[in-house]
């Protein structure tokens, strides 16, 4: 499969991701998942291609944002499907990349579905 669509969090969402839920404030993981990521991910599955998510060049990612977006996507869709159709680009931080992949593989069970 090849990459056919992408999300650049810096330009498509924000330079300062927030907490887990919408009620926690602006630019939450839930907002990112529901307003941007989920539709594009579903399109990638339906079209059998890879969605690239560029997570570089922002101030940082709270663990609650990662679990509220990538973790919840994994809970809803399954880690295997997410890893098949989602590629994370993190040239600036290998640790950030590993945290996101780990959350997809082992999502937190305390995330509301």
pLDDT band at residue 108 using 50, 70 and 90 as cut-offs = confident
In this structure, what token pair is assigned to residue 56?
A: 């570089």
Query: What are the structure tokens assigned to 35, written together?
Result: 């307003």
> What is the mean pLDDT of the segment spanning 41-45?
98
Is pLDDT at 112 greater than 90 in this prediction?
no
Q: What residues does each domain of the chain span?
A: 3-105
3-state secondary structure of 53: strand
Annotate 49-81 with b (16+ C-beta within 10 A) or e (fewer): ebbbbbbeebeebbebbbbbbbbbbbbebebee
Confidence class for position 10, pLDDT limits 50, 70, 90: very high
**Averaged pLDDT for residues 48-72:** 96
Considering the chain, what percentage of its residues have pLDDT values greater than 90?
A: 95
């Amino acid at each position: 499969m090849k990459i056919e669509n992408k999300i650049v969090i810096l330009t498509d969402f924000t330079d300062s991701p927030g907490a887990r839920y919408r009620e926690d404030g602006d630019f939450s993981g839930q907002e990112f998942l529901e307003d941007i990521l989920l539709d594009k991910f579903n399109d990638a599955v339906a079209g059998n291609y890879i969605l690239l998510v560029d997570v570089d060049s922002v101030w940082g990612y709270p663990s609650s944002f990662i679990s509220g977006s990538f973790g919840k996507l994994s809970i809803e869709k399954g880690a295997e499907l997410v890893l098949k159709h989602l590629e994370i680009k993190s040239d600036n931080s290998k640790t950030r990349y590993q945290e996101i992949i780990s959350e997809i593989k082992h999502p937190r069970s305390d995330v509301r579905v």
